[in-house]
Amino acid sequence: MKIRFRFERSEELKYIGHLDVMRLFERAFKRAELPVAHSQGFNPRPHIVFAQPMPLGLSSSGEFADVELEKRYELNIFLEKLNAALPDGIKAVDARESTSNRNIMSIVEAARYRIDFNAMQSSDIDSIISKVLSEKRIIVFKKTKSGEKEFDIRPLIYEITGEANDGTGFFNVLLSSGQHNNVRPELFFEGVRICTGIDIEMTKMHRIMLYGRAENKWLPLTDERFLQRDL
Amino acid sequence: MRVQLDDKILMKVEKPARYTGGEWNMVVKNPRDVDVRFAFCFPDVYEVGMSHLGMKILYHILNKRSDTYCERVFAPWVDMEKIMRDEGIPLFALETKESVNEFDIVGFTLQYEMSYTNVLNMLDLAGIPKLSAERNKTHPFVIAGGPCACNPEPLADFIDFFAIGEGEEVILEIIDAYKEWKAAGRDRSEFLKKAAEIPGIYVPSLYNISYKEDNTILKIEPVNAGIPEKVRKRIIKDMDRADFPENIIVPFIGTVHDRIMLEMFRGCIRGCRFCQAGFIYRPVREKTPEVLLNQAKGAIEKTGYEEISLVSLSTSDYSCLTNFTQELLKLTEERKINLSLPSLRIDNFTIDLMEKAQKVRKSGLTFAPEAGTQRLRDVINKGITQNDITSSVKIAFEGGWNNVKLYFMMGLPTETEEDIEGIANLAKEVVDVYYNTPRKKRAKGLKVTVSAACLVPKPFTPFQWFGQDTVEEFHNKQMLLKDKLRKASRSIIYNWHDARVSLLEAVFARGDRRVGKVLLRAWQNGCRFDAWNEFFNFDSWMEAFEEEGIDPAFYANRTREFSEVLPWSHLDMGVSQKFLQRECKRAYKGITTPNCRVQCTGCGSSVFGTGICKTDPGKGEEA
């Protein structure tokens, strides 16, 4: 059976990279004695697919993964067993059965972040936000395999709100995410620096939720619409 | 004091998870609820230290006691050290993040000589005086153990006492003695005297060393009666009953050995004359297959690891290998776990075993002929022939392996140019075996890697008297071999070791107390992480020798007489000096010595009355 689950990673476990998280789950499934199906072939790999890599330093309350199990489990039993085998700081919070054939990575289209910052000059947060939103284009340089590439992130910034006082504050942003047009928080910050000229330093990043898009709405990946067999 | 680590620090350093702890199976206790806090220090970075089985064993044994909390401490990497020094953050333990100077006992494991400056650096970061003589009642006791403790003299000024031999039992006796001393509220020196009464404990400050005019040692004697003249190592008599951890810590980040390590036995029957481990861990003591299988099963369930590795000095010499590996394979196949089988002698049985065990790609196979000619292999008592090697690689090539590593040593006693050329000839022979393997059977793309280390003569081996080659001699031999290998085949890659590192290893492996000053000076000159190429600074070391007026050649390159009082002659690792002298003489004559199962050589380890000496003592004792 295929299960899609949402998990959270707290501050204490944010200092490991994506490969470490993958290995952590593989070992947790083994400890939980939840038999994960493996790929066929020369080097069998467990069928666990994560919706979006988690860079080192990011905490999150809205991560998703698909796992293919060799047996059927009640969803609450699955959660209980898995959580008993996960270390403090990482927790599965929701599990749904999935009959979709779609790769979970291809569903992700946006992510909501809370990004904390220190700004060197005190500036009105509302004017920063309206400045960013009023731009037609925000060109940043994105590192690619073949060097740096110009990249217009303005159309990929969907929403910004925020609060600030005494030089510290946070943004709550909805950014394009996923396999195409992924805007990482660092890139968004680069854009803010470029179009406002303000010296602003990111101090913390937290992913609130990963979303897919269906019926003109942003929906979490455990929404029924993403779990059904594709027509 | 609990150190505060936040993003401002952790997001600036490489691999911040080195410092955050919280791994699966980490032991959590309230430090206020225990009597003894023990900081287990590994003097290298997290990924190296977390790969060390001995630490896992002692962590487990100490933490089983409700009166003791053992925490882990590693050397912070240079980026973190800089921040710690800038911000005034003391060395801390991973479990509670509390500073190490608040602990009762700070214990270092000494696995290699080139970690010694890290010991000093960690004491310094902890705010603990580096010299034992400068510590007072506000400071922890600093102790050490591990294989390098069999000649602890270079660290005698810095370590309050050493545990000689295997630590599982003695460490509990140390804790008991400490509790008693603490409750009685006595002087620091009282505890040292008490500790010296525990078998296997060596307190360097309770021994006087006097020197002759020629700088060799005149006498080593205890400062007063009641202190043992000789300290004999401790061993575990019954490996089946020794506590072995199944709930080992599972790191979040990759470590050097990131897998379950299942220890099959201690000791080695072989007696290769250069190998310190082959002598200091005697006698061979095996665990039974039943115990091993239970421990494997327990560890798999409690860790979730995807790989298990057998650990011993020579896997092939395990007496029930066939039955045991068959049972173990059932367990690992069913759970989709990789079985790693290091240090196997390659034959038809083991190749078959490896095919079954490693479903993954065929990684390299390693062979250790150690010397290039049969004559020299007889000198070092490496009981394998040219034919053993070529028939093994033939089996490997036919089995589809195409990546072979060959390990050798340079600077062995009686070595000539012919022996160095022999290395190239043997490597060429291996290449020929490959090309004589039918095309259909062999895999494409041969790669033969020749690694040649520089011999570091070690205490408690038959070569303990032998003068190491100079750096220049090593260099000449390396250039000769490089040239010969280049001419032999294009499939051969040659790796050599930095002879300057081997020189320092030789000094600190066989040094006396006086080289401790050099260590301290080198640390002051900025040396640390000397085992890491990128930080090894030979010039700083040479300056340190010069500043302290100590000649490294006296310790490294000088051949000693049998009559010389060696710096470790007050320690007893179970092998007698008489036996080592006998083996040394046989080496120079090129006479091999049979292994412990064939014939007992009377090495002295039968005093422990256990293991192979008791159950399978060859064909009777040699006179």
* Beta carbons of B302 and A31 less than 8 Å apart: yes
Instruction: Specify the pLDDT at position B81.
Output: 98
Look at residues B617, B565, B167, B587 and name the one whose alpha carbon lies nearest to residue B378: B587
Is the CB of residue A109 less than 8 Å from the CB of residue A213?
A: yes
As a whole number of angstroms, the distance between CA B321 and CA B593 comes to 24
Q: What's the rounded mean pLDDT across residues B400-422?
A: 95
* Beta carbons of A24 and B252 less than 8 Å apart: yes
Same-fold call for A2-98 versus A110-214: yes
Of B24, B252, B301, the CB nearest to A16: B252
Size of interface A-B (CB pairs under 8 A): 59
Instruction: Specify the pLDDT at position B622.
Output: 45
Q: What's the rounded mean pLDDT across residues B453-476?
A: 98
Of B254, B305, B359, the CB nearest to A27: B305
Q: What's the rounded mean pLDDT across residues B114-134?
A: 98
> A interface mutation test: which of B10, B23, B24 has the most A CBs within 10 A?
B24
pLDDT tens, position by position, B568-600: 999 999 999 999 999 999 999 999 999 999 999
Q: Report whether pLDDT(B359) > 70.
A: no
Instruction: Specify the pLDDT at position B197.
Output: 96
CB neighbour class for B517 (10 Å; exposed up to 12, middle 13-18, buried from 19): middle
Q: Measure the CA angle with vertex A157, ends A154 and A163; round to 5°.
A: 115
Question: In this complex, is the C-beta atom of A88 within 8 Å of any C-beta atom belonging to chain B?
Answer: yes
Residue type, B27: V
Q: To the nearest 10°, the Cα dihedral for B86, B88, B92, B96?
A: -120
Q: Report whether pLDDT(B358) > 80.
A: no
C-alpha distance across the termini of chain A, in Å: 19
Is the CB of residue B535 less than 8 Å from the CB of residue B121?
A: no
Q: Which domains does chain B have, with CATH numbers?
A: 7-230 (3.40.50.2300), 235-360+593-623 (3.30.750.210)
Chain B's closest residue to A23, CA to CA, is: B252
> Pairing mode, if any, of strands B447-454 and A200-214?
unpaired
pLDDT tens, position by position, B525-575: 999 999 999 999 999 999 999 999 999 999 999 999 999 999 999 999 999
Instruction: Specify the pLDDT at position B350.
Output: 77
* Beta carbons of A27 and B306 less than 8 Å apart: yes
| Strands, E assignment, B96-145 | 105-109, 141-145
Q: Report whether pLDDT(B360) > 60.
A: no
Look at residues B210, B186, B209, B191 and name the one whose alpha carbon lies nearest to residue B201: B191
- What DSSP character marks residue B466? P
Instruction: Specify the pLDDT at position A200.
Output: 86
| Helix H or strand E segment including B459 | none
> Measuring CA to CA, how many Å separate B126 from each of A148, B35, B94, B98?
44, 21, 14, 10
- CATH class of the region A2-98: alpha beta
> B interface mutation test: which of A22, A31, A91 has the most B CBs within 10 A?
A31
Predicted confidence band of residue B273 (pLDDT cuts 50, 70, 90): very high
Neighbours of A197 (CB within 10 A): 11
**Residues 6+ positions from A228 with CB-CB distance below 8 Å:** A99, A100
Residues in A closer than 8 angstroms to B306, CB to CB, are 26-27, 30
As a whole number of angstroms, the distance between CA B127 and CA A59 comes to 34
Instruction: Specify the pLDDT at position A122.
Output: 62
Is the CB of residue B2 less than 8 Å from the CB of residue B98?
A: yes
Instruction: Specify the pLDDT at position B623.
Output: 37
Q: What would you report as the CA-atom Rg of chain B, rounded to the nearest whole angstrom?
A: 25
Of A15, A27, A33, the CB nearest to B17: A15
> A interface mutation test: which of B4, B5, B6, B7 has the most A CBs within 10 A?
B7
As a whole number of angstroms, the distance between CA B409 and CA B369 comes to 9
Of A85-89, A225-229, B450-454, B489-493, where does mean pLDDT reach its minimum?
A225-229
Residues in A closer than 8 angstroms to B301, CB to CB, are 31, 33
Classify B288 as helix, strand or coil. coil
Residue type, A227: L
pLDDT tens, position by position, B167-197: 999 999 999 999 999 999 899 999 999 999 9
> Pairing mode, if any, of strands A200-214 and A217-220?
antiparallel
As a whole number of angstroms, the distance between CA A106 and CA A102 comes to 7
> Measuring CA to CA, how many Å separate B173 from each of B177, B296, B569?
6, 28, 25
Q: Report whether pLDDT(B407) > 90.
A: yes
* Beta carbons of A20 and B17 less than 8 Å apart: yes
Gap from B544 CA to chain A (nearest CA, Å): 39
Question: With helix as H, strand as E and coil as C, how does chain A read?
Answer: CEEEEEEEECHHHCCCCHHHHHHHHHHHHHHCCCCECECCCCCCCECEEECCCCCCCEEEEEEEEEEEECCCCCHHHHHHHHHHCCCCCEEEEEEEECCCCCCHHHHCCEEEEEEEEEECCCCCHHHHHHHHHHCCCCEEEEEECCEEEEEECHHHEEEEEEEEECCEEEEEEEEECCCCCCCCHHHHHHHHHHHHCCCEEEEEEEEEEEEEEECCEEEECCCHHHHCCCC
* Beta carbons of A12 and B17 less than 8 Å apart: no
Gap from B589 CA to chain A (nearest CA, Å): 51
Is the CB of residue A16 less than 8 Å from the CB of residue B19?
A: no
Structure-token match 């922890």, residue found: B140
* Beta carbons of B24 and A57 less than 8 Å apart: no
As a whole number of angstroms, the distance between CA B375 and CA B43 comes to 39
> Pairing mode, if any, of strands A157-165 and B571-572?
unpaired
Gap from B91 CA to chain A (nearest CA, Å): 20
- CATH number for the segment(s) A110-214: 3.30.70.3190
Q: Report whether pLDDT(B621) > 60.
A: no
> Pairing mode, if any, of strands B260-263 and B307-311?
parallel
* Beta carbons of B304 and A204 less than 8 Å apart: no
Chain B's closest residue to A16, CA to CA, is: B17
Average pLDDT, chain B: 95
For every one of its 231 residues, what pLDDT tens digit does chain A have, with 9 covering 90 and above?
A: 999 999 999 999 999 999 999 999 999 999 999 999 998 877 778 999 999 999 999 999 999 999 999 999 999 999 999 999 999 999 999 999 999 999 999 999 999 999 999 876 667 888 889 999 999 999 998 877 788 888 899 999 999 999 988 888 999 999 999 998 999 999 999 999 998 888 888 999 999 999 999 999 999 999 999 998 765
* Beta carbons of A27 and B22 less than 8 Å apart: no
Which residue ranges make up each domain of chain A? 2-98, 110-214
Judged by CB atoms within 8 Å, which residues 109-168 of A form the interface with B?
none
Q: What's the rounded mean pLDDT across residues B48-60?
A: 97
Q: What does the DSSP assignment read for B33-76?
A: G-SEEEEEEESS-HHHHTT-HHHHHHHHHHHTSTTEEEEEEEPP
pLDDT tens, position by position, B371-393: 999 999 999 999 888 898 999 99
Exposure string of B52-91, with b = 16+ CB inside 10 Å and e = fewer, is bbbbbbbbbbbbebeebbbbbbbbbbeebbebbeeeebbb
Bridge partners, A202 (sequence order): A117
Of A38, A85, A87, the CB nearest to B22: A87
Give the rounded percent of residues in chain B with a pLDDT score beyond 90: 88
* Beta carbons of B254 and A20 less than 8 Å apart: yes
Instruction: Specify the pLDDT at position B619.
Output: 59
Chain A's closest residue to B301, CA to CA, is: A31
Instruction: Specify the pLDDT at position B414.
Output: 98
**Would you state the structure tokens that stand for residue B524, as one six-digit string?**
């002051």
